[in-house]
Structure formats: C-alpha cells, structure tokens
Amino acid sequence: MKPMTLGLRAACAALLAASAFAGLPALAQPAKPTVVIVATGGTIAGAGASALNSATYQAAKVPVDKLIAGVPELASVANVRGEQAFQIASESFTNDKLVALGKRVSALLKDSEVNGVVVTHGTDTLEETAYFLNLVIKSDKPIVVVGSMRPGSAMSADGMLNLYNAVVVAASPSAKGKGVLVTMADDILSGRDAAKRVNIKTSAFGSQWGPLGMVVEGKTFWFRSLAKRHTVNSEFDIDTIDALPDVSIVYGSGSMNMALYDAAATPGVKAIINAGTGNGSVPNYAVDKLKSIRDKGVLVIRSSRVADGIVLRNAEQPDDKYDWVVAHDLNPQKAKILAAVALTKPQTTAELQRIFWEY
Ligand code: DAS
C-alpha cells in the first residue's frame, strides 16, 4: 500500500478534527451588547432637497428607526433599538425636555440588559445636553451624545459615521466610567467641555482641553480622562430633580444697555451668567447694577464671551467683595447648565463656587 502523501495526511487530519468537534456545541460567540438610541431630532435627522444642500435643509424629519436602518453596520456592533424622545431642532430644547430626557436615559441604564445609550441630538445645544447628563446621571455605563453637521440627504453627509462611532463607543467596555461622551468627526470628546466651535463645518466640535480619544474603523483609542466630577461621582441625581430653575445669560460688549440686566433678572431667575469681555470683565457702569441684583438674592456668575481660558476669581474683579462666583473654564451656556443643576438645591456663594471648581 502506497505511503500516504502529505496532502492526503493533512486532509485526513482535518476530517478527524472536524468530526471530533462535530458532536460539540458551536463555540459560543460572546453576546453582543445592547445599545438604545434615544432620538431627539436635529440635523442628524434632517432632510434637504438635494445632495448639494449641506446647509439648507429641515432638521428633525427622519424617525429613529430610519436612522438605524440607514446604518446597517450597527448590527455588527450591538443589538440596537431606538426610541423617539422628541423630534425637534435642538435650539428649541427647554428645561422640561432636558429633565425628561435625563429621566429616560437614567431609567434605560438601570436595565441590566442595556449596556449603553446613544442620544441623537441637534448640534446647536448638544453641548448643554451632554453636560447636563454628565452632571445628573448616576451610572458608569457609556452615554454618547451625537449629532451631525450635514443632513443624511447631503453629499458627504457625516451623520452615518458619527452614529456608527457613537454606537461603537456606547458598546465599548472601555468607555465605562468616562462620563458622558460626544462622538463627532472621529473624536471622542467629554460631554463636560465639548463645544460647537464652528457653526457650519463637519469639524465643528472640539474642546479647549482636547478630545479624550478617537474612534476609528470601529475601534476606540483613549488618551486622557476627565479630571472633573461627573455621573456616579456627582452630588446631583436626575431621580431627585423634577425641574430646573431659571438662569439667564447676559452677553457682554462695549457700551452695554443696563436694561438687559433688568430683563435678565425677572422674578424667579435664580442666577445671572455674565458673559463678560476678556477675563469675565464687568464694565464700571454695570457694577452697581450687578451688586443690586445680588442684593435681591440672585447669584451673579462671571463667565466670558471668549471661547477659551479660565475666568480667575478676584483677578480684575473683586468677587469676594461683591459676593460673585466665577465660572472657571465653562462657557456661558455650560455655566448656565451647571448653575441651574446646582440651584435645584439651596447653595451659599461659597458652595456654588466650589461646585464650579469641581464640575
Ligand atoms: N438647528 C440645528 C439643531 O437642531 C441643526 C443641527 O445642526 O443639528 O441643533
């Protein structure tokens, strides 16, 4: 009998191996994580008349199930299901919608079957919602807020990949405990300091402190973590918040009209964010107005209209003397969110200043 050739021997070995496993159950594939997409509207759900309409379109038109169907690759990343919380352009977000969204996200993350949540959102106030959730959701599971600068109907639309990246991050165990995240244009930003820095490009979002990481071809790469308190380390809890107090922003410039402050400090307003020039400066002719507002029990918080930097306490303005608070590195809209969340409980000026330094 002719000796078996190498090839025949290999074929027999393969057959033996296959038959040996034939009786065993197929190697169990790890269960895919479950990610819930909570849709609120925005450009990522927008529709324009033609592929050339990258900036002329209607936001908040496409329902969440169509968004998911538009990115079939999501199915390889996670078991994905969608909910339509709202269908609005995000400039129309209100405090009651923020609270309702926060409560829904919190409830979803309490479900042991849910590994992460993605919130699709307009880009105009995405930074406020992301920071709000970062302050009040008591979970270390990934929460990713995502939008797009072009509608899905436009040439080179950015929404599909932004959404895919958001689901990848929300499904990633490595994203746990990092606070609320924002995935835009391949960056993974912290919800705390992500901001819309350009109002018409796909590279619109950034942070003066840089991204936390990147997501590329379905993989996450991390380079730093947030140094501030958030989510499970926050003293604030959406489950104990039913409404947010009114906080106004007054935008600083040369030759300001003092009536703006009167209009901002209407009854019920708990704090005014002064978006001052430079390092949060207050014109000499406005100091008495702000002191009188403070005397009425309204808190005065100095932020800056300048995008980057930190507003220093007692630098050009005697904050101790006037009993004012500084917003640290927070832009005026983020300062408004933090002040509103903080003032769901009574705060002394010193307590509020601590909160602005810790969050
Ligand atoms: N109006 C904008 C919004 O809904 C559109 C967008 O960029 O998402 O925030």
Banded model confidence at residue 110, pLDDT cuts 50, 70, 90: very high
Query: Percent of the chain scored above 90 by pLDDT?
Result: 87
The strand pair at 143-146 and 195-196 is best described as unpaired
145 and 259 housed in the same domain: no
Give the pLDDT score at 1. Answer: 43
225 and 84 housed in the same domain: yes
Lowest mean pLDDT among 9-23, 159-173, 284-298: 9-23
More confident call, 352 vs 13: 352
226 and 252 housed in the same domain: no
pLDDT per residue over 154-163, tens digit each?
999 999 999 9
Residue 122 Cβ inside 6 Å of ligand 1? The answer reads: yes
CATH of the domain at 331: 3.40.50.40
Number of domains in the chain: 2
148 CA → ligand 1 middle, Å: 8
74 and 212 housed in the same domain: yes
Residue 102: both structure tokens together: 């926060």
Nearest-angstrom CA–CA distance, 265 and 261: 6
Which residue, 152, 156, 175, is CA-closest to 165?
Answer: 175
DSSP string, 233-271: G-S--GGG-S---EEEEEE--SS--THHHHHHT-TTEEE
151 and 275 housed in the same domain: no
Among 208, 233, 258, identify where a domain stops. 233
Q: State yes or no: pLDDT of 215 exceeds 90.
A: yes
Residue 152: both structure tokens together: 């899905």
* Choice from 54, 87, 88, 91 to test ligand 1 binding pocket (greatest atom count within 8 A of CB): 91
Please check whether residue 248 is in contact with residue 273, taking contact to mean a CB–CB distance below 8 angstroms: yes
Q: Which range of residues forms the domain containing residue 192?
A: 34-233
50 CA → ligand 1 middle, Å: 18
Q: What is the 3-state secondary structure (H, E, C) of 199-223?
A: CCCCCCEECCCCCCEEEECCEEEEC
152 and 44 housed in the same domain: yes
Banded model confidence at residue 57, pLDDT cuts 50, 70, 90: confident
Q: State yes or no: pLDDT of 22 exceeds 60.
A: no
Q: Is 123 a catalytic residue?
A: yes
Q: Is residue 8 part of a domain?
A: no
Q: State yes or no: pLDDT of 311 exceeds 80.
A: yes
Q: Is residue 28 part of a domain?
A: no
Nearest-angstrom CA–CA distance, 86 and 223: 34
Q: Is residue 9 part of a domain?
A: no
Nearest-angstrom CA–CA distance, 186 and 131: 20
Nearest-angstrom CA–CA distance, 174 and 157: 28
Q: State yes or no: pLDDT of 19 exceeds 60.
A: no
Residue 338 Cβ inside 6 Å of ligand 1? The answer reads: no
Banded model confidence at residue 5, pLDDT cuts 50, 70, 90: low
More confident call, 235 vs 13: 235
Q: State yes or no: pLDDT of 109 exceeds 90.
A: yes
Q: Is 94 a catalytic residue?
A: no
7 CA → ligand 1 middle, Å: 63
213 and 123 housed in the same domain: yes
Give the pLDDT score at 320. Answer: 98
pLDDT per residue over 116-148, tens digit each?
999 999 999 999 999 999 999 999 999 999 999
123 and 169 housed in the same domain: yes
Banded model confidence at residue 21, pLDDT cuts 50, 70, 90: very low
